[in-house]
Amino acid sequence: MDSILIQGERRLDGVVRISGAKNSALPILASTLLNQGTFTLTNVPRVMDVFTMSKLLTHLGAAVDIQEDRFTVSVKEAQSFAAPYELVKTMRASVLVLGPLLARCGEALVSLPGGCAIGARPINLHLAALQQMGAEVSIEHGNVQARVNGRLKGARICFDLQTVTGTENIMMAACLADGTTVLENAAREPEVADLAQFLNKRGARISGAGTDVITIEGVTALHGGDHEIVPDRIETGTYLIAGAITRGDVQIERCRPDHCEALLAKLREAGAVLTVEKESVRIRSDARLKAVDVKTLPYPGFPTDMQAQMMALMTLADGPSVITESVFESRFIHVLELQRMGADISIEGNHAVVTGNERLSGAPVMASDLRASACLVVAGLAAEGETRIGRVYHLDRGYERLEEKLSGLGAKIRRVKEAA
């Protein structure tokens, strides 16, 4: 198993380019299953989750050709409507094929994703919405089995809470439904809007994506299309924090600062100096930052996917900070690892109280999920001495060429092979 070794306390300086958004590429790839055709996607991040989704598409009968960041997907006759456990267990987002398969084939069998390190993560809202659209849904032998006679029917669906992949799954299914579907309390994430844009290029009729009410007029068929994936706002945020925590000067290119407003506001409040352009942002911080409180919320609130990295930043800030996780129930596993590096953090329910210290000390630590790993990387960049991060496959799921990008900014970081 690989580890990442970081020699900390090096100020980051330079320019880094952001890749396409993993959480946009995943539903966009899944959506190609809605019809036969050829799809050319660019700015696709080459990260493990995207490769897993490509494998799943191949299993379902598509051909995926990968040339750098350009993925060409050719979808012919559906060969299978079953997403097996072997693929789904490695990536929960595999559930995104449920809506497209059901809408196109009238049948789908998708292994039920289990819990994960950040919470139970049920998919009950995806299933209830499909039932409202006329599907018969059952769970047997660990699989979700969904069937519909003829086409799904348009429906008015009010989600109990905002779910990102739930909104995406139902929006895709509704494209081929008979009649109009209205999604209320829909997720407003930029990735939902990016998916809607791609679907509309292929003949779908979606309006309101990016707001909490999305209207989808069903059509009988979609066609092929091209799309450039939107830049990754969480990768952007992670490099902003890497710049801030090392008191560096980092220019982040090819990003969408307008998708990072909540984080930018918090960084400004903490005292970082930001220069924001349409597609770039520069962060400078040469003094110790002030502690700020943070509460995670669905977009446009502060993203849960940035909570762990922000916590790392707060471990070195001046004063106490209260970090409240309100999207997932157990997304504080990184706290124990940060404590091994000398951080002063206590947890009360879904609040973490972080008292900033003058320094962190490098230590061997273990990654538990994707964003917890990113938190340990940014902590390691600022810590005194060496930090060794184990289980880096979590990082590879969502960060493209992380060591290369950080080395380009002056970090001392490398991957080492561990004996099994």
- Structure tokens, 301: 């609130």
| Locus of tokens 């290369």 | 404
- As measured in angstroms, the least distance from the Cβ of 232 to ligand EPU is 9
Find the part of the chain contacting ligand EPU (CB under 6 A) among 69-77, 115-123, 242-250, 352-360.
115-123
Q: Which residues contact 255 (CB under 8 A, 6 or more apart)?
A: 18, 231, 232, 233, 236, 279, 280, 281
Q: Find the radius of gyration of the CA atoms of the chain.
A: 21
- Contact residue for ligand EPU among 93, 274, 352, 377 (CB under 6 A): 93
- As measured in angstroms, the least distance from the Cβ of 302 to ligand EPU is 11
- Structure tokens, 253: 């290119």
Nearer to ligand EPU, 71 or 328 (CB): 328
- As measured in angstroms, the least distance from the Cβ of 358 to ligand EPU is 30
Question: One-letter amino acid identity for 296?
Answer: T
Are residues 113 and 88 in contact, defined by beta-carbon separation less than 8 angstroms? yes
> Bridge-partner residues for 346, per DSSP?
353
- Contact residue for ligand EPU among 122, 142, 319, 320 (CB under 6 A): 122
- Structure tokens, 397: 């799921």
- DSSP three-state, residue 282: strand
What value, to the nearest 5°, has the Cα angle with vertex 305 and ends 300 and 308?
125
Contact set for ligand EPU, span 295-314 (CB under 6 A): 304-305
Active site residue 105: no
Nearer to ligand EPU, 167 or 387 (CB): 167
Cβ-based burial of 278 (10 A; exposed 0-12, middle 13-18, buried ≥19):
exposed
Are residues 233 and 394 in contact, defined by beta-carbon separation less than 8 angstroms? no
- Contact residue for ligand EPU among 1, 15, 63, 161 (CB under 6 A): 161
Residues 371-410: x/- map of binding to ligand EPU (CB under 6 A)? Answer: x--------------------------x------------
Nearer to ligand EPU, 238 or 251 (CB): 238
Nearer to ligand EPU, 95 or 101 (CB): 95
- CA distance linking residue 397 with residue 189, whole number of Å: 20
- As measured in angstroms, the least distance from the Cβ of 69 to ligand EPU is 19
- CA distance linking residue 218 with residue 310, whole number of Å: 41
Are residues 207 and 215 in contact, defined by beta-carbon separation less than 8 angstroms? yes
Query: Of the listed 116, 158, 175, 375, which one is catalytic?
Result: 116
| Locus of tokens 């929006």 | 171
- Contact residue for ligand EPU among 328, 334, 363, 382 (CB under 6 A): 328
- As measured in angstroms, the least distance from the Cβ of 373 to ligand EPU is 10
Contact set for ligand EPU, span 9-38 (CB under 6 A): 23, 26
* Binding flag, residue 356, ligand EPU (CB under 6 A): no
Q: Binding-site residue total for ligand EPU (CB under 6 A)?
A: 24
How many Cβ atoms are within 10 Å of 132's Cβ, its own excluded?
Answer: 17
Residues 171-210: x/- map of binding to ligand EPU (CB under 6 A)? Answer: ----------------x-----------------------
| Locus of tokens 């157990």 | 330
Nearer to ligand EPU, 205 or 391 (CB): 391
- As measured in angstroms, the least distance from the Cβ of 219 to ligand EPU is 25
- Contact residue for ligand EPU among 3, 94, 165, 368 (CB under 6 A): 165
Q: What is the DSSP string of 200-257?
A: HHTT-EEE-BTBSEEEEE--S----EEEEPPB-HHHHHHHHHHHHHTT-EEEEES--G
- DSSP three-state, residue 3: strand
Contact set for ligand EPU, span 247-276 (CB under 6 A): none
- As measured in angstroms, the least distance from the Cβ of 4 to ligand EPU is 17
Write phi, then psi, for 55 (nearest 5 degrees): -60, -40
- As measured in angstroms, the least distance from the Cβ of 285 to ligand EPU is 25
What HEC string does 400-413 produce? CCHHHHHHHCCCEE
* Binding flag, residue 99, ligand EPU (CB under 6 A): no
Contacting positions for ligand EPU (CB under 6 A)? 23, 26, 93, 119-126, 161, 163-166, 187, 304-305, 327-328, 370-371, 398
Catalytic residues, by residue number, are: 116
